[in-house]
């Protein structure tokens, strides 16, 4: 990941501090549903004098809404989670390219769209969790998860889950479709149960004894470290974790990101908001408020995130990964991953 630049950070702070003259408003379409994001919005409004009007909903619903609104859409920003949804928005023609020296400097190249239509602002590792008592030799790579020795042990979400779609797309990007299909088939063969629930439910599956191994995003586990999460926190000491592929390309990272709407009526304010999300203060909110990894290197991590330890992250371009999302869905269907 790129290191943050002191001079750019200072320029960004000055930009935000002197932008009150911009005033006006910003229409934010967001599928992020975290209460702690309130601080992000409040601080931006205080620093700039720009009023944020929010429309919240599920990502696909917001994308469809923006498509239907067309040139008359009031949307300035689409804020959502995972590369797959950001790429879906790009393919729908509802985002536009952004020319920003601040974003180019602050956000690592692998977390940006190749056409600068979306940018990642926080990251989550998709990693392996296991029952310490029952699993003496946990998988250390994604490929290991498909080995016959783990048959009947794995809990993982459905193929409709965007995090799994992007994970499989990343495997296609690294290893090709044939290897990716063999992996997906191996996971299906090793499932302890049919896919069900969210990432927290996969962790609960370890605690309940339904499975010995689970795949989940890091922030669900880190959250259970920071505060009480029913069915996880009370038994969290029994769960171990592995950042996969540490001797190879590293642990897969997905993201939360945003782009400027194609017909943004307040484009300057929209670009300023994206630049604000790349500031140190906003990046700290992503970590402290929602147990995520910042996109900008050098930003202090929350204690719950620090507890996960150091690791090697996959730095493959998520824009390249996004191109393989259709192939990933095709493979899921072919192997019967429900």
Q: Is residue 242 part of a domain?
A: yes
- What value, to the nearest 5°, has the Cα angle with vertex 206 and ends 164 and 240? 85
Q: Domains in the chain: how many in total?
A: 2
Any residues with CB less than 8 A from the CB of 294 and at least 6 apart, and which? 122, 123, 283, 284, 286, 287, 301
175 contacts 137 by C-beta, under 8 angstroms: no
Is 286 in the same domain as 323? no
**pLDDT tens across 231-262, in order?**
999 999 999 999 999 999 999 999 999 999 99
Residue 44: pLDDT band (50, 70, 90) is very high
Same domain for 325 and 199: yes
Claim to verify: residue 181 and residue 278 sit in the same structural domain:
no
Name the average pLDDT for the chain.
92
CATH number, domain at 188? 3.40.190.10
Residues 262 and 210 in one domain: no
- 164 within some domain: yes
Tell me the CA distances in angstroms from 67 to 16, 61, 257, 263, 325, one per residue in order: 31, 10, 19, 11, 21
112 by DSSP, 3-state: which? strand
At 323, which helix (H) or strand (E)? none
Q: What's the pLDDT score for residue 181?
A: 98
Is 313 a member of any domain?
no
Q: Which one, of 121, 104, 165, lies nearest residue 321 by Cα?
A: 165
* One domain for residues 196 and 297: no
Tell me, yes or no, whether 48 lies in a domain. yes
Neighbours of 11 (CB within 10 A): 15
Residue 136 in domain: yes
Q: Which domain holds residue 186?
A: 125-251+319-335
Same domain, 329 and 206: yes
pTM of the predicted structure, to 2 decimals: 0.91
Q: Is residue 314 part of a domain?
A: no
Look at residue 274 and tell me if it is in a domain. yes
Q: Is the domain of 115 the same as that of 133?
A: no
Question: Is residue 8 scored above 90 in pLDDT?
Answer: no
Are 142 and 91 members of one domain?
A: no
230 and 276 together in one domain: no
Q: How confident is the model at residue 39 (pLDDT cuts 50, 70, 90)?
A: confident
Mean pLDDT in residue range 69-96: 96
Residues 201 and 105 both lie in one domain: no
Query: For residue 177, how many other CB atoms are within 10 A of its CB?
Result: 16
205 and 326: one domain?
Answer: yes
Q: Does some domain include residue 293? A: yes
Q: How many CB atoms lie within 10 A of CB 20?
A: 12
pLDDT by residue (tens digit) across 187-240? 999 999 999 999 999 999 999 999 999 999 999 999 999 999 999 999 999 999
Do 170 and 258 share a domain, yes or no?
no
């Amino acid at each position: 990941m790129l290191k943050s630049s002191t001079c750019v950070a200072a320029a960004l702070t000055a930009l935000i501090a002197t932008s009150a003259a911009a005033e006006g408003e910003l229409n934010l379409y967001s599928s992020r549903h975290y209460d702690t994001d309130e601080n992000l919005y409040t601080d931006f409004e205080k620093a700039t004098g720009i009023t944020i009007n929010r429309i919240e909903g599920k990502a696909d619903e917001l994308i469809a809404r923006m498509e239907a609104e067309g040139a008359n859409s009031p949307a300035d920003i689409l804020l959502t989670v995972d590369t797959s949804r950001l790429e879906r928005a790009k393919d729908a023609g509802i985002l536009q390219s952004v020319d920003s020296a601040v974003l180019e400097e602050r956000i690592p190249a692998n977390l940006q769209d190749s056409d600068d239509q979306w940018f990642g602002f926080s990251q989550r590792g998709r990693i392996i969790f296991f029952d310490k008592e029952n699993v003496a030799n946990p998988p250390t790579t994604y490929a290991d998860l498909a080995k016959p020795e783990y048959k009947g042990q794995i809990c993982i979400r459905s193929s409709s889950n965007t995090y799994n779609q992007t994970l499989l797309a990343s495997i296609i990007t690294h290893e090709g479709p044939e290897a990716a299909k063999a992996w997906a088939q191996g996971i299906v063969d090793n499932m302890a149960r049919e896919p069900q629930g969210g990432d927290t439910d996969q962790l609960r599956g370890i605690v309940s004894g339904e499975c010995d191994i689970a795949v989940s995003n890091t922030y669900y586990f880190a959250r259970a470290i920071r505060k009480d999460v029913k069915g996880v926190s009370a038994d969290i000491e029994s769960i171990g974790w592995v950042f996969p592929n540490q001797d190879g390309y590293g642990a897969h990272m997905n993201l939360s990101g945003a782009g400027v709407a194609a017909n943004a009526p307040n484009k300057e304010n929209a670009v300023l908001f994206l630049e604000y999300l790349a500031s140190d203060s906003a990046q700290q909110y992503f970590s402290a408020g929602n147990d995520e990894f910042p996109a900008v290197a050098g930003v202090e991590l929350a204690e719950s995130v620090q507890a996960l330890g150091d690791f090697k992250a996959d730095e493959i371009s998520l824009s390249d990964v996004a191109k393989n999302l259709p192939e990933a869905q095709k493979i899921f269907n072919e192997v019967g991953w429900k």
